[in-house]
Amino acid sequence: MNTTAKQKEQPVNSGRRSFIASLIIGVVGFSSLMKREALAGPPGRGGKGRGGIYRGQRGMGASDPSMKADQSLIRALLNGRSQIRRQIKMLPNGVETLTETDNPQLRTVLVQHVQSMKQRVEQVRPIHLRDPLFAALFRNAKKVSMMELTATPKGVHVIETSNDPYTVKLIQAHARVVSLFVKNGQLEVRKNHPVPNSG
């Protein structure tokens, strides 16, 4: 009788083990899929992941808690770009810019954004790495010798310089592209901008 009981138990236990093994495999597979989807982010225009300024930032939120706040500031500036004025003066060793607005709230956002970007350059905490120009600028961030910010009644005045000739080119190219962001908005942000020739 015991032999018969064991024979009857074996198929049941075997089936249960197979079911549990299949369940574990399914859960692990689903978890891996969800992890990949979370890292990729929601689809955006121009390819996988988020569109515009956020592309190339996958997985950086956990290690850079200020990323979300900086992205929010950038969105506000892009949305209010029609109210922003910007002047650029090329210097032998860098660039001088004046960016202003008549909107007091937008002026506050503008000053916060520029201060935050100054910290990113000084601490080499990249943003917008999908764009080759931004990636090159952050690779050379340690060669930026000065980034002086002065708040004005309607915005911010910036002088950014370097003793390295190639970094000077990067600084100047970046200033031009930021002006294009103000002019063209997200259409410009989605573009890849060329890196200056090192020669």
Give 169's contacts (C-beta < 8 A, 6+ positions apart). 196, 197
Taking the model in full, what pTM does it have? Answer: 0.71
Render pLDDT for 155-195 as a digit per residue (tens, 0 to 9). Answer: 999 999 999 999 999 999 999 999 999 999 999 999 999 99
The DSSP result for 81-97, as a single string, is GGGEEEEEEEETTEEEE
Render pLDDT for 77-131 as a digit per residue (tens, 0 to 9). Answer: 999 999 999 999 999 999 999 999 999 999 999 999 999 999 999 999 999 999 9
Domain regions of the chain by residue span: 61-189
Q: Is pLDDT above 90 for 64? A: no
**Token pair for 27:** 């859960």
